[in-house]
Chain A
Amino acid sequence: MGFSDAVRRLGSGAGLVVQPRMGFEDPARMRAGLAATRAAAAATVGTLTVDSFTRLGDLESVRNALAEGTELNGYPIASHPAETTRAILDGLASDDFPVQVRHGSAQPQPIFQALVAAGLHASEGGPVSYCLPYGRTPLDESVRNWRAGCHELLRAQDLGAEPHLESFGGCLLGQLCPPSLLVAVSVLEAMFFHGEGIRSLSVSYAQQTNMAQDREAVHALRRLCAELLPDADCHIVVYTYMGLYPRTPGGARRLLARAVELAVDTGAERLIVKTEAEAYRIPTVEENVAALEFAGAVARSLTDRRDGAALATHLEAGPGTRATDGGEVYAEAAQLVHAVLDCDADLGRALSAAFKRGLLDVPYCLHPDNAGRTRSFIDTDGRLRWADTGDLPLPPGTAAGGRRSVTSAALMSALSYVRDAYDRPDLASEPALRLAEPDPGPPTLEGAPR
């Protein structure tokens, strides 16, 4: 069964499938984490998040870390032998509990090889979304690597599995990117995967600064997929806020609840959660389970409301915006997508050309292949908008214009807009106390299976 099918089946009862970001270097802890995810009281899928050294192809540093007992920020899938990964998954991964590998690499071939060898078939990323925000690999090279990577992943077919890829395009730098560009990149990457032969797909969108705008964005994503990928098996995954995360437990939970609401109201099939430890460090297994169960409970309580969602969205978005059609976000995203498709019949070359010409341009992205002529800002209504559209193919008047003078303090306040809004209720009562880092608890308990 393909990953998309499995997600749909799991969600048909519970309403929303929830998934952690989880990865540990220690195989026993990784297995305990997957077991706990599976046992959590929610409809869950499992995750193997790959560490940063493996993402960069630096397997020597992985060896050193493992030898010295230095902890990694993920599971080194290309260093542990395939049998080790198989043993981690044994009896856990199945159609009822699919496991996806999440990695952030512009050179995904070794990771895809390793996951197929371990009997897996679902992963994520993309030639743009795992290149520009993830280092300095030239975009052309990333496109070549991702083509080769798709072909590696297609080998899962020989083992009777249906390869799945999710575009990470809905995240980019995690914050301060207007939603239309997130939607456009996600759809374009899904089309790239489809062109390389992957049939089971998902497209992503990361929660931003304004709920009505976020709803439009998810509807825009669905509409563009229906138009441009009519014969693909495609579902939508929402990411809980990917920028500076609230530091109080209350703030962290409120933001997660909002993301659940976004996913349920827009009919997204899957949600990636964030934990109360997000602002501080890699979460423990227990913190992940708590976030999954909390999100699952919120989803169940909202599912009844879902039927009336279309109406509610209309009312909240106000007159003039057709939110369920994707509104303003759809209009902009469609222009971006079609401008890129017009660049070249080959989508990989079109993506490279589009960035060279600034038709796609991620605000604040330091990557050498990003034009760097766009800027964004958070408007008074909380919507993310363009301050400067650079060479984006958007109509004049889209940008609010006028480059604001930017200082480190102004940048920090834009980055902290969401964090501070969600922390405020808790900070108001007991500032000093509430800002304390959550206690990770005794390390020996973390790996304990539930």
Chain B
Amino acid sequence: MTGSGSLPTPHPDPADAVGPVGTAGPAEAVRRTVIVSGVASDSHTWNLIYLQMLVEELGYDVVNLGACVPDDLLVRECQARRPDLVVLSSVNGHGYQDGLRVVEKLRAIPALGETPIVIGGKLGVRGAESQERVGRLLAAGFDAVFDDRADAVVAFRGFAAVLPGRAVGGLL
């Protein structure tokens, strides 16, 4: 899907998803792909729609996996698509637990060893996260944790704007 002006649609089923290379012209063959996804227990989607648009506006192709994405579906999609960035979002308060579990599964895949993976949103049920819990998420394999603070989106935009290229990201 390319950043087009109209509202995004998800790619619930990889079979009917339009791959970034298929939609990009030859000059754009190097357009980079970002996977935006909810986590297993979280059904919120406005956050995903918003993040998809935001990332598209930065010039990436986005595959939005939607809400309540089971761990194996996320792993399969990341393995198949080799994205340049994986953005997990959770606001229901279980993001800490869902995120810890799934990032270990993602990092266990050799091809995803170097892929930037970030998580953000409302990750617990008590508001802002403790340093300790953020530290555990980072230790488990996230490159960045965008806790629900006023500057989270600005910080994320800065992070996503300067992603290393494909070759540097080791994805070719």
Contacts and interface: CB of A to CB of B under 8 A. Distances in A.
A366 B53 contact: no
B46 A365 contact: no
B31 interface: no
Contact of B93 (A61, A282, A375, A403): A282
Interface residues on A, range: 35 or more
Contact of B126 (A53, A55, A71, A408): A71
A437 B149 CA distance: 10
Interface stretch (A131-139, A189-197, A325-333, A393-401): A131-139
A281 B149 CA distance: 12
A249 to B, nearest CB: 15
Interface residues on B, range: 35 or more
A52 B49 CA distance: 21
A52 B94 CA distance: 8
Given A368-B12, A408-B50, A136 B67 contact: yes
B108 interface: no
A104 interface: yes
B79 interface: no
B9 interface: yes
B144 interface: no
A2 interface: no
Contact of A73 (B5, B9, B49, B93): B93
Nearest to A375: B7
Q: From DSSP, what is the main secondary structure of chain A's interface residues?
A: loop
Contacts of A104: 43
Interface string A170-193: 000111000000000000000000
A56 B97 CA distance: 15
Interface in A404-450: 405-408, 411-412, 415, 435, 437, 440
A401 to B, nearest CB: 14
Nearest to A283: B125
Interface hub of B13, B41, B101, B122 (most chain A Cβ within 10 A): B41
A73 B125 contact: yes
B104 to A, nearest CB: 13
Contact of B43 (A135, A411, A440): A135
A359 to B, nearest CB: 19
A70 B97 contact: yes
Interface in A272-286: 280-282
B61 interface: no
B40 A56 contact: yes
A381 interface: no
A58 B40 contact: yes
Interface string B32-72: 00000000111101101110011001000000101111000
A273 B49 CA distance: 27
Contacts of A250: none
A56 B93 contact: no
Contacts of B57: 407-408
B150 interface: yes
Contact of B97 (A61, A364, A435): A61
A61 B95 CA distance: 12
B127 A52 contact: no
A408 B46 CA distance: 11
A52 B122 contact: no
Contacts of A380: none
Contacts of B146: none
B10 interface: yes
A415 B127 contact: no
Nearest to B126: A281
Contact of B53 (A368, A406, A435, A440): A406
B122 A281 contact: yes
Given A52-B42, A135-B67, A72 B53 contact: no
Contacts of B97: 61, 64-65, 70
B128 interface: yes
B7 A406 contact: yes
A372 interface: yes
Nearest to A284: B126
Contacts of B10: 366, 368
Contacts of A173: 45-46
A64 B101 CA distance: 11
A281 B13 contact: no
Ranked 4 nearest A-B pairs via Cβ = A135-B68, A408-B53, A73-B93, A368-B12
Given A58-B40, A61-B98, 6 more contacts: A56-B40, A71-B125, A281-B124, A372-B9, A407-B53, A411-B53
Interface of A: 51-53, 55-56, 58, 61, 64-65, 70-73, 104, 133-136, 173-175, 280-282, 364-368, 372, 375, 403, 405-408, 411-412, 415, 435, 437, 440
Interface of B: 5-7, 9-10, 12-13, 40-43, 45-46, 48-50, 53-54, 57, 64, 66-69, 92-94, 96-98, 101, 122, 124-128, 148, 150
